[in-house]
Amino acid sequence: MSEITGRCLCGGVSYQAKGPTVFVACHCRDCRYVSGGAPASILVAQTNGFALLSGADLIQSYTVAGESGHKVMREFCRSCGTPLFERLEILEPDAMLIKVGTVDNQDDLRVEATAWTKSAPAWATVDEHTELFEKNPADEFVGQLLASKAG
């Protein structure tokens, strides 16, 4: 997808992202906490194509250390609680994560990679037709996929 738009549930925060994205389903324990189940549905997007259109004052963040020791900042709307974005210290400043549930048009999206398969609960469905990673996808994999989509 070359351009996406999205918003939180109350509409207070809206954004636009231009450029290629990679759809990752993540089964890590932290993502399952913040998604309310498994997996978390995430679009990896290039930071330089991202623009916050409204609601900067409504964004609240929560930062933790991931398994790698690097910071993971999760951003959500303080008004309605919608999870919006994640910023991973290990990917900055090049890429950020957008929660798929906030994307306006989801019809053309397809999961391309599944992360943290080793953490998926027994009841979760893991799509065997995607690239599978026991932990995080290699940065090289994501970078190559974004570059190939950019043409």
**Distance between terminal CA atoms of the chain?**
12
CATH of the domain at 56: 2.170.150.70
In a domain, 144, yes or no: no
The string of pLDDT tens digits covering residues 20-33 is: 899 999 998 888 88
Answer yes or no: pTM beyond 0.85. yes
The string of pLDDT tens digits covering residues 35-78 is: 888 789 999 999 999 999 999 999 999 999 987 788 999 999 99
In a domain, 147, yes or no: no
pLDDT above 80 for 126? yes
How far, in Å, CA of 97 to CA of 77, rounded? Answer: 15
Number of structural domains the chain divides into: 1
In a domain, 64, yes or no: yes
In a domain, 142, yes or no: no
- Domain span holding position 93: 3-136
In a domain, 107, yes or no: yes
In a domain, 149, yes or no: no
pLDDT at 29: 87
Q: Residue 151: pLDDT band by 50, 70, 90 thresholds? A: low
Q: Is 148 exposed, middle or buried (0-12, 13-18, 19+ CB in 10 A)?
A: exposed
How far, in Å, CA of 26 to CA of 4, rounded? Answer: 20
